[in-house]
Structure 1
Amino acid sequence: MSQPPPLESCAELRSRVRELTTSWRADGRYVPRSDSWLRSFDPEFSKALAADGLIAMTYPEEFGGAGRSNVERLAVTEELLRAGAPVAAHWIGDRQIGPAILRHGSRALQEEILPAIASAEAVFCLGMSEPEAGSDLAAVRTLATPVDGGWLISGHKIWTSHAHRATHAYVLARTERAERKHEGLTEFVLDMDSDGVSTTPIVDLAGEHHFNEVRFEEVFVPGHRAIGEVGNGWRQVVEQLSFERGGAERVLSTYPVLVELITHAAEGDDPEIRSLLGSLVARLTVLRRLCWEVARRMDTGRAPVQEAAALKYLGNAFEHDVVEALRRTPLCAEPSPGGAFGQALLASPGFGLRGGAAEVLLSLIARQETRS
């Protein structure tokens, strides 16, 4: 396999993203915001990206992809996050469901789902967390029972972002009562308009609705909608979580706040703020390099479980520190919930939870140290 390009060599891709985001902002079609990959939802923007070949970039061309590298995809996602663009409609499907199906899904499932992700027609939500499981993903109770032609799924998921808008759900369910809780799990793709699916909104501290509770009551799922080997879901979901944890969104969710801090430092003469900003920029440089390393490993066919865990752990701390740095300036004396600081502040309690709590990430990192 050829050596992946450095981030600095992806100028043409970056230029295309900047042209699109600048045009949409100039037309008033979106306002940049913090945490845009989770909270800023616009299917038309996602379809515009898809039309320009900027979704499913790493998927094979036969499934609607562009056959590009993960490093090139990273360059595009960096630009989208820097612009605070409304990317939530396609983010989950493009980032992790498509790659999981490519690695483990049947040919029939690949042909059905991957082109829909690539065209931004499929909007995915994640059916992982459950009310009594906390951060213990292996404690899921949602049950999949075999029937003629497929499965009946019954259970209860929570904190499911954009389930009320999604066309499809990824669902982790128990297909057998095994002695060890990590065994007997299977991944499924489920249609959200199926009989037996219901959603209940969860409104967050900002008064926004993107979280939901989702209940499944004997929802039929065709047999080919199981991803990979039945009962092997735990190994597969750990791989998938490395795709979720190892991207630029673990570093750049608060980028609009960093821009405000840079502007304040340039206009003023506060040595403490300048020193703090220098430290943050240096950390961001290192974190971008870690993002590149994760993408490079994915281009070799690996699922970089430990590397992605380290990136998320360090990235969460960085994002919190960006918010705290701006708190020291007059810019946040009266924070508005709609401003970059207010948005980031209200979202920040979730930084260290979504995608795995710090204790889970440190456990994964420790295992890497033990093996080395």
Structure 2
Amino acid sequence: MRNCHLLLLLMLFILAFLGCNRYVPVEAVSFWHNDEVVSKPEFTVLADRRIFATMAFMNAMGYDAEARGMRMHPARLRLRRFLKDKASAYPEQFRRWRKFYQKANLHNFHYQDFALSLSADYPFKRIRPDRELGYPFTAQRLAGFPMVLNEFWKTCDLDLIWAQVKPDYIEEIAKYDFEKMEYQLEFLWDYLRMERQDRFVFVTIPNLIERHYTAIGAQYENYYYMVESPGAGSHALNIHEYLHSIINPMIKACYNFQSQKLDRYFEAGKDHSLAAPYRHNVTYAYECLVRALDKRLCVLLAETPSTSRRCEKSVLALTRNGLTLVQPFYRLLEEYEQGKNNFAQFFPEMLNRLPEYSE
């Protein structure tokens, strides 16, 4: 009897383990629609069907966010009219999909990151392991999403609306300046006084059916994806999103040594609307330092008084509106530029020099 109990416990443990560690047949992603890709060594710009399908699903389920004072991109307006007719034609399916969407209760960036773990075209399936997900909890929360997305694509004839809006995407990907990307990448590592630490292929994805001024970065395989909504980039390297891959590990390694000081800044800013996406103290620090670096690099790349004034004004606004560390970090970066140490060497000292928070 005892052996039977032990065997039963072992089986339950194995089932629990398997339930928390879903097997995903791993494949390398392939982009085979040649007219939807523009590329050079190290850089690719892609009209991505995974992101399109995922954002079409979110729009159909009620996602209607838009930046204040901005009008939705024409491709998004066309898509939403198309999906409104489909919702009338298939009310039962839309109710079921909406129930899934509401139960998942996730942000747009969660969906976009997860979408990049899928195969590149319909029918979509997971091809990248859970460990590569930017938000590991989505492995469980969105476990059924590939099946839902495939049903949504087929039922709503997304291939038809994709054909209608595809010219907008083709026009957009043609605008990217690869020479500028190369220059920005070299300039960034020169600024940090460090050897480049990765060998990413950068994949930029225009996301025309999203609200203006939003972007995410995500790494899968050796690709570093940068998904940009209208107005979020300058048809060049998205330095902000790439910086996260460099800065986040530095802050994560050092945060606990200065946590009391950093936490005071977080507590002072966390309830402002601008800080809403950064609800954890460490991710809040990530965003503040990346924004400060992004502004310093913008000033140095442009080398114009007007750009300097504009960035100073932006830094002040970000700091006052909830990202309280941006201006202190910005000032410390000016000090870094006067020294000789590389950024990894300077960063612990930067945190030491950070003043205590005061109103």
With normalisation by structure 1, the TM-score equals: 0.25
- Comparing both structures, which one devotes a greater share of its residues to strand? 1
- The structure number with the bigger radius of gyration is 2
- Comparing both structures, which one devotes a greater share of its residues to helix? 2
With normalisation by structure 2, the TM-score equals: 0.26
